[in-house]
Each structure stands twice: as structure tokens, then as C-alpha cells.
Structure 1
Amino acid sequence: MTDETRFVSAERIIAAPATEIFELIADPAQQPRWDGNDNLAEAAPGQRVRHPGDVFTMRLTTGGERENRVVEFEEGRRIAWLPTPPGEDPPGHLWRWELEPLDGGGTRVRHSYDWTALHDPKREARARSTTAENLRSSIDRLAELAERG
């Protein structure tokens, strides 16, 4: 398998300011509202991401827990994290959101899933099942929330 097949992305323009969209992404308690993979059940309030190195915890729809280690962060523009089972090293997959404010008030939103560093065969089938359509579904749900204002 080539690295190209281990990276999927989707994008669209959302008719809302980047600051409003970013708030929905950087606050883990909001993430289950727009998760297009229907994988996220809930996150405790008060975990709003503010810096690289922050860790937020999420309960999955399967009942499991994930610690998400933030590895990229630029307020209002970019955030990326490595989901990790509690107490373990990151298995090597990364979720990234990039927001580009546009003239006129809209925002180009790019969402990507990068599993080029994933080397756990038990996780590869799940990683492979994450498609651009799943990512686009998250962006569409995010747009619905942000455009509603």
C-alpha cells in the first residue's frame, strides 16, 4: 500500500466565519454534534484546546476512551491531534482541520485523516474504512451548525 492511499481529505466552503467554525472543532464537547463517522459519544466540558501539547479525552460510541494529543495548533486556523488509547503511545494516525478565511466572510474548511505512520495491523481495516465521504460528512454537519449561527 502506498502512502497516498493512507491519506484522505475533503474540503468545502462554509458560509460562516473561521472563528465560529473553529470554536466547534476546538471544543471537544461539541465534536459529537458534527462527527461524520458517528464514532464520538461525548467529551466532558472544559477541555477547549488552546495549545499544542494539550490532551483532551473523548468517549467513543463503542464505549472506549481516547486521549487526543494535540500536535498542531494555530487559533482559528489549524488543529490536529493523535488519538491514543489511554496510557499507550499514539498508534500513528492523525486528524487535521485547516480553516482559511475567505473574502466575504466564508471559510474554506479542509479536513484530513493521515494514517501514513500507522503500523498496527489490527487498526488498518478501521483506518482504511475512513473515506473522503466520511470526512465530507463531518464538514457538512459542521457547516449546518456554523451556518445556523
Structure 2
Amino acid sequence: MSRVVSSSIDVDAPAATVFAILADPRQHARIDGSGSVRDTVSGPQRLERGATFGVDMKLAGVPYRISNRVVEFEEGRLIAWRHFGGHRWRYELEPTAEGGTRVTESFDYSMYAAPQRLLIEALGFPARNRRGIEQTLVTLKSVAEADARTAREGDRR
């Protein structure tokens, strides 16, 4: 059984626009489709490999704070971070033939030993995270396309 939950979407915006949103932790609440990411963020304005950042979260109405470390980073192409527990959130960007970007978001919990994996599955996190990923991608598409339009309009002035 795969321990990676992922989904993809095509965005009518250049990879640089999409990546600028993902690499700015203060924009994560702007695109979050799970409803768990809050606005308060600590850390750098722009992420890079090895950067750490904290985010206020809420799950089932219970607030908490989580720390993350960027573990993969390729400018304009790939960014991933791990929570303290070890699971990884990853975004891969690929240019499309139409000049846009195909974005794949994934939640990878394969690094856990059997007891933790079973608990994650019993609590329904794979299905819950799939729904969150799918909604996040829809929101990211809307936000990135709006940002790209604004940039194009600014270039015409």
C-alpha cells in the first residue's frame, strides 16, 4: 500500500509565480484547503533548503503550533518540508506546453514505522489530507492565476 497521498492540477501561471507563493510561508494560509493553517508564521520571508518555520494550526477545533524544516528545494521546481513527526509535504512544479505549470502536492508518511502508520490511517489522515490537498490545489490555482494577471497588467502600464 502506498503511503503517499498526492494530487495534481494545471495552473495558467508561470512556475515562478506559483513557486513565489509556496516559498513564502506567510502565504500558506492564503492557499490552505484543509482549513487547518492559521495566519501566524515565524521564520524567514522566503524559504530555502534547511530553513525552519513555525505555523499556528487547528485540528478538530484544537489549536496547536507546528515546526517545519525545508528538506528539499530546487528554485522554481520543488519544495518540501517535514514536520517534527517526520511526514513530508511536497510540491513539484513542471512547465506545461501551454506556458502554465502542473503542480503536484503530496503528503508522504512512508517513513513511519508500522504503529504510527496504522494510527495515521485509523484516524483517517490519508483521506482527510487528500481532500485538503485537492482543495489547496484549487485555491493555489486561483491565487497564482490572479497574481499572474496582476503582474501582466502591471507590466502593461
TM-score class, shorter-chain normalisation, is 0.7 to 0.9
Matches within 5 A, 1:10-89: 10-44=7-41, 47-61=44-58, 62-84=62-84
Please say if 1:97 is aligned against 2:94: no
Q: Is contact 1:92-1:116 (8 Å) kept?
A: no
Q: Is contact 1:10-1:133 (8 Å) kept?
A: no
Map Cα deviations across residues 34-58 of structure 1 (whole Å, 9 max, x no partner): 1111110123376234421111110
Structure 2: distance between partners of 1:59 and 1:93: 17
RMSD: 1.9
Map Cα deviations across residues 14-49 of structure 1 (whole Å, 9 max, x no partner): 000111111111111100111111110123376234
Structure 2: distance between partners of 1:48 and 1:73: 15
Question: Which is helix-richer, 1 or 2?
Answer: 2
2:131 alignment partner in structure 1: 133
User: Could you state the TM-score of these two structures normalised by the residue count of structure 1?
Assistant: 0.84
Structure 1: distance between partners of 2:105 and 2:15: 14
Taking only the aligned residue pairs, the percentage that are identical comes to 35
Judged with a 3 Å threshold, the aligned counterparts in structure 2 of structure 1 residues 147 and 23 are, in CA distance, closer, same or farther, namely same
2:102 alignment partner in structure 1: 108
SS of the aligned residue for 1:130 comes to helix
SS of the aligned residue for 1:44 comes to strand
Structure 1: distance between partners of 2:70 and 2:42: 17
Number of matched pairs: 140
Structure 1: distance between partners of 2:106 and 2:7: 7
Once the two structures are TM-superposed, the CA of residue 63 in structure 1 deviates from its matched residue by 2.0
Residue 136 of structure 1 aligns with an amino acid whose one-letter code is E
